[in-house]
Amino acid sequence: MLQVSYIRDNREQVLERLAVKNFKQPELVDEIIELDDKRRSTQTSMDNVSAEANAAAKQIGELMRSGKKEEAEGLKGKTGAWKEEIKKLGEALTTTEEELYQKLVLLPNLPHSSVPKGLTPEDNEVVLENGDKPELPADALPHWELAAKYGLIDFELGVKITGAGFPVYKGKGAKLQRALINYFIDEAEKAGYSEVSVPLMVNEASGFGTSQLPDKEGQMYHVGIDNLYLIPTAEVPITNLYRDVIVKEDQLPIRNCGHTPCFRREAGSYGAHVRGLNRLHQFDKVEIVTIAHPDKSYEILELMSNHVQGLLKNLGLPYRVLRLCGGDMGFGSALTYDMETWSAAQQRWLEVSSVSNFETFQSNRLKLRFRNADGKTQLAHTLNGSALALPRIVATLLENNQTEKGIKVPEVLVPYTKFEWID
């Protein structure tokens, strides 16, 4: 959530940056400023009446002590009117503050100055590309056929048990999943992240804190009877560990990682590109989350991006890094890098990670602050990234490493899988 003071002081810049994100309600900016003017005016009026009432109360005491009872009683007669006016002004202030809040939560975060303009994924900027695309034989199979051939994943059984988008991993497929999770967690810990194990459901306050609510409410699974939400990413519970917390400046940066299943309704996703593991309703992911000093957050964003790239290099996967354009960015992000791997059998790039800096957008909602050397509190910056999401990693590993002998397991995973080949 943007800070009202920043919006007031930087109106033109706010409108300019919102335009980069293709925000369709720029009039909200002036409505917010007008409501803040009204809030300030009402607060001033209430403070003035309260001061007048307090001064009168003091004067009444002095008159009573001086024996001027009649004058004191005359002043007492006015206190009822003051109390009523203070009550009305208080109610008006509460209403205005609620209206202001409801409009503030509709504003997305402002994109960083480096974010390119654009409307669609085609407008994203390719920052770098690494690795050679493998050349597969003409009879190479897509991962869903390889999964069936080697008994790794049963999509139909998942449909029977739950529905489409909930696959069942079996045998070496299940072991490969577990190997990837353990490998990603171990690498995150080597990079300085502390592992946490968090709930898979969150309340409304948590969903609001990391800006999934109200923006992505329709994409989340809602447990109505308890008013809880299945997490779309471990970012939500891990970041919310620090909701309403003031940390010490010397504790920053705070780095956490965690593995969770993730649940996404993916409403409106249809077509050939959602086949197999390309788009699921439930999938596993290892998340890295950082609470950072504002002066260091973009340096840390690059470190997080490099960490993800290191994982892809170690797995032997060709990849590219994209800087997302304004129209393709998330609601709360100031800058997002997407990492995509090349699917040799499908002949297309598949997104496997997003690494984002939210600056103070989430921390303002979370009331996540740090106390600086002067003893003053300041909003921290929050960052997170997929390191990594498993489905498309599995898809590209199966497709890119297929041979006549079987599927070669990347060397870094063999200590975890305890086998070198899927055959």
In three-state secondary structure terms, 387 is strand
CA dist., res. 405 & res. 412, Å (int): 20
Q: Are 185 and 286 in contact (CB under 8 A)?
A: yes
Which of 161, 220, 350 minimizes the C-alpha distance to 273?
A: 350
By DSSP bridging, strand 125-130 and strand 194-195 are unpaired
Q: Which amino acid is at 412?
A: V
Q: Is 328 exposed, middle or buried (0-12, 13-18, 19+ CB in 10 A)?
A: buried
272: which 2 tokens?
Answer: 């050939």
* Tokens 């306050």, located at residue: 205
DSSP 228: E
Question: Within a 13 Å sphere around the CA of 291, how many CA atoms are in the beta-carbon half?
Answer: 29
252: which 2 tokens?
Answer: 């920053």
Q: Is 7 exposed, middle or buried (0-12, 13-18, 19+ CB in 10 A)?
A: buried
CA dist., res. 95 & res. 90, Å (int): 9
262: which 2 tokens?
Answer: 């993730």
CA dist., res. 325 & res. 43, Å (int): 41
Q: Is 416 exposed, middle or buried (0-12, 13-18, 19+ CB in 10 A)?
A: middle
In three-state secondary structure terms, 348 is strand
Give the tens place of pLDDT for each residue, 109-157: 999 999 999 999 999 999 999 999 999 998 999 999 999 999 999 999 9
Residue-wise pLDDT tens for the chain (423 aa)?
A: 899 999 999 999 999 999 999 999 999 999 999 999 999 999 999 889 888 877 777 776 666 667 666 666 666 666 777 788 888 999 999 999 999 999 999 999 999 999 999 999 999 999 999 999 999 998 999 999 999 999 999 999 999 999 999 999 999 999 999 999 999 999 999 999 999 999 999 999 999 999 999 877 788 999 999 999 999 999 999 999 999 999 999 999 999 999 999 999 986 555 556 789 999 999 999 999 999 999 999 999 999 999 999 999 999 999 999 999 999 999 999 999 999 999 999 999 999 999 999 999 999 999 999 998 889 999 999 999 999 999 999 999 999 999 999 999 999 999 999 999 999
37: which 2 tokens?
Answer: 């003017």
User: CA torsion 304→383→122→311, rounded to 10°?
Assistant: 30
In three-state secondary structure terms, 144 is helix
* Tokens 């390889």, located at residue: 146
pLDDT score, position 82: 73
DSSP 386: E
